[in-house]
Amino acid sequence: MGQVSKKKVKQNVNIDWILNSPDPMPIAFFRLTHPEARTRAIDTYKRCFKIALSRSEGTTLNKLKAVNNNEKFIQRDWETWLKEKKTIEACRMSHDTNLQIQQDFATTMKTVIHFFMGMILDITTLFKIFLP
């Protein structure tokens, strides 16, 4: 049995997803695949959707035929996906920044506490020496 390319495997996964998804809309596809490039993402969706449509029958066929796949709709979904992606990235960056601030604060507080504990020990030692 020959090896199947990664690209073909991924395409089959995408086709299976379209066939089995309760929501095979472009936006859902973009959320699933996390594409980087508009043209390639849209072409991939269209190609996989077309193959899924040709493989479907019965209720699945009816479900896929009901999907609005005109160019304007797909472009709108792409723009929505980009906004979602940017929002997710901004939230992650904010979270990472907040985490770094907390870690820096904790490190600073440890240093301050160690410093003052050292001073307290030094003062205690001085009291023991000078005030027996």
Q: Each residue of 81-100: pLDDT tens digit?
A: 899 998 888 878 877 787 78
Residue 125 lies in a domain: no
| Across 69-78, average pLDDT | 91
Q: Is the pLDDT of residue 1 over 60?
A: no
Q: What angle do CA 102, 107, 113 make, to 5 degrees?
A: 120
Global confidence as pTM: 0.63
Which pLDDT value is given to residue 47? 94
Residue 88 lies in a domain: yes
The crossing angle, in degrees rounded to 10, of helices 58-65 and 38-55 is 150
Residue 114 lies in a domain: no
Range of the domain at 88: 6-107
Total domain count, the chain: 1
pLDDT, the chain, mean: 86
- What is the residue type of 84? E
Residue 55 lies in a domain: yes
Which pLDDT value is given to residue 36? 86
